[in-house]
Amino acid sequence: MHAEPAPELYARALALPAVAAVRDRLGADPGVPVALVGGAVRDLLLGGTPPDVDVVVEGTLDRVLPRLGGEVRAHERFGTARLTLAGHSVDVASARRERYPFPGALPEVAPADLATDLARRDFTVNAIALRLAGPGAGELLAVEDARDDLAAGRLRVLHTASFVDDPTRLLRLARYAARLGFAAERRTLELAVAALDAGALGTVSGPRIGAELRLLAAEPEPVAAFAALRALGADRAIDPRFGLTDDGWGARALELLGPDGRRDRLVLALAVRRIGPEAAAALLDRLGFCAEDRDAVTAAAIAAVPLCKSLGRAERPSELAATIGRAPAEAVALAGALGPAEQARRWLGALRHIRPAIDGADLLAAGIPEGPAVGRGLAAARAAALDGADGDRPTQLAAALAAARGALPSGR
């Protein structure tokens, strides 16, 4: 374990509001050894701003949580808690050692010092800590090879059984490779391939794998994250038909989707598209996805290809609306990425937000009886709005009344 003073890094860490709140609330109490750990320190060393803040306490959390305050959600089994400080989420954990009773099991934990805690982590570049309070405040600690691996862009596990003990690290290997642009060190890659060949992911519960897939899909560059998963072969270990096989399709679809859509659902839809709807839904259930995400992902995967064919034939905005129907935005983006990009772009831009300026009450007031005719009239009003009468209430009402009266039985 290497330790060195790091005053500049310490100052940059304290510039983060959540870290400053931790330091301020604990003060300079030498009896409270607390350190910023893992990805937050890694990202600071790389010159970035950490999206997450993880703090380790040497000792039990009940020594610090009352002093930190904020909303707290504790997980006593693992000695961890999540709280909100200065408007930011902070994960706090007791320094611990871990023992895996069998491959893929959740670890059994016991209290330990900071050096031991760092040595149990996934990759060397995450086994770094910056002491915030207590003895040695401002000191940087790192396991062997951590600083060299960080400088060289290498991902290296800390021990040979790492992927066997916790196979979810295989998915994290892909996630960090994509996010950081790092490559797996040769021996680490050999260990990963050996673990996959031995069926390591089969020793882990579906929901734990699903949790890692959701993190992959939520990455800033989710297509790159799933491409890294495929390069490793971990996607096929989840299901032989699962995975992203066309990076270009995914990149084009993400560009069309824009900021309002669910990028994670789009990439997951691409990943399950070769499985088939029923099997895909069953897989997502097994992986612990909620029903809403499962249904949205499978709907996008099913609709994309047939929607592509019909989108290309739609000319007027109302024809686009009729073609798309209730298909999710992710399906439209995927369909557009296959060819009719301009139609998809028009719909996903302003068109899908256009609503008629009239409602059912206007039709009832004009003498249209309750029933299907009202729905037919409102559909006609929206078509008129889409085709150029947006905001033109008289034109929309005229179109709606004509359609509604045409839907009434003779004599009504």
Please indicate, yes or no, whether residues 364 and 347 belong to a single structural domain of this protein.
no
Domain end among 125, 152, 179: 152
Query: What sign for the dihedral angle of Cα 407, 409, 411, 412?
Result: negative
pLDDT tens-digit map of 197-235:
999 999 999 999 999 999 999 999 999 999 999 999 999
Pull the structure tokens for residue 333. 């983006």
Domain end among 122, 152, 182: 152
Helix (H, G, I), strand (E, B) or coil at 144: coil
> Domain total for the chain?
3
Going through 150-234 in order, the beta strands assigned E by DSSP cover: 154-155, 183-184
CA neighbor of 176 nearest in space, from 160, 157, 194? 157
pLDDT of residue 411: 45
Please indicate, yes or no, whether residues 319 and 202 belong to a single structural domain of this protein.
yes
Task: Give the domain CATH number at 15.
Answer: 3.30.460.10
Pull the structure tokens for residue 19. 């870290």
Residue 63 lies in a domain: yes
Please indicate, yes or no, whether residues 218 and 344 belong to a single structural domain of this protein.
yes
Pull the structure tokens for residue 99. 């023992």
Q: How many CB atoms lie within 10 A of CB 52?
A: 13
Residue 32 lies in a domain: yes
Pull the structure tokens for residue 68. 């930190």
pLDDT tens-digit map of 85-132:
878 888 999 999 999 999 888 888 888 999 999 999 999 999 999 999
Name the one residue in this structure whose structure tokens are 């399709």.
Answer: 249
Its pTM stands at: 0.89
Q: How many CB atoms lie within 10 A of CB 178?
A: 22
Q: How far apart are CA 210 and CA 238, in angstroms?
A: 10
Please indicate, yes or no, whether residues 47 and 189 belong to a single structural domain of this protein.
no
Residue 69 lies in a domain: yes
Helix 329-337 crosses helix 341-348 at what angle (to 10 degrees)? 160
Q: What angle do CA 290, 295, 298 make, to 5 degrees?
A: 120
Residue 160 lies in a domain: no
Residue 31 lies in a domain: yes
Q: 162 with 169: CB under 8 angstroms?
A: yes
Alpha carbon distances (Å) from 224 to 25, 39, 257, 357:
40, 19, 17, 43
Q: 378 with 362: CB under 8 angstroms?
A: no
Question: What is the secondary structure of 300-317 as a DSSP string?
Answer: HHHHHHHHHHHHTT--SH
Local confidence pLDDT in tens for the 412 residues of the chain: 777 878 899 999 999 999 998 888 887 666 678 999 999 999 999 999 998 899 999 888 888 888 887 666 766 556 788 888 878 888 999 999 999 999 888 888 888 999 999 999 999 999 999 999 877 889 999 999 999 999 999 999 999 999 999 999 999 999 999 999 999 999 999 999 999 999 999 999 999 999 999 999 999 999 999 999 999 999 999 999 999 998 899 999 999 998 888 999 999 999 999 998 999 999 999 999 999 999 999 999 999 999 998 998 888 999 999 999 989 999 999 999 998 999 999 999 989 999 999 999 999 999 889 999 999 999 999 999 999 878 889 998 999 899 989 888 864 5
> Residues 6 or more apart from 33 whose CB is under 8 A from it?
57, 58, 59, 114, 131, 133, 134, 135, 136
Please indicate, yes or no, whether residues 118 and 139 belong to a single structural domain of this protein.
yes
Give the distance, in angstroms, between the CA of residue 276 and the centroid of all CA atoms in the same chain.
23
